Amino acid sequence: MTHLLTELLGWAATAVFVGSYFFSRPSLLRGAQMIGALLWMTYGMRIREIPVIAANILVFSAAAWTLVRGARGTRSAAAALADLRGEPGPASPDS
């Protein structure tokens, strides 16, 4: 991967992470944060910066944990994943 592609990866990670703040549904916000963190981790590996990698492992973990915790409190994890994909989720037991 060239230097230009590495820089573009960093800019893409920035755009995804900033864009995540415009989602109103928490599950979409967390999903975008997780994708952004994965991009940042890849960028950190490319530039060989352990703090960038470590920070984004923490961001990814926190976003995943809050996504699952939120899903567990109100609905199933399968419904949260379907929500991330934009698919209709499984029917709840109450419906």
pLDDT tens by residue, 43-70: 999 999 999 999 999 999 999 999 888 7
Nearest to 80, CA basis, from 38, 33, 25: 25
CA–CA gap between residue 62 and residue 41 (Å, rounded): 14
What are the C-alpha distances in Å from 58 to residues 34, 37, 45, 50?
A: 10, 9, 15, 12
pLDDT per residue as tens digits for the range 67-95? 888 766 655 666 666 777 777 755 544 44
Residue 85 confidence (pLDDT): 77
Q: Model's pTM, two decimal places?
A: 0.71
Question: Does pLDDT of 24 surpass 70?
Answer: yes
CB atoms within 10 A of CB 70: 15
Residue 82 confidence (pLDDT): 74
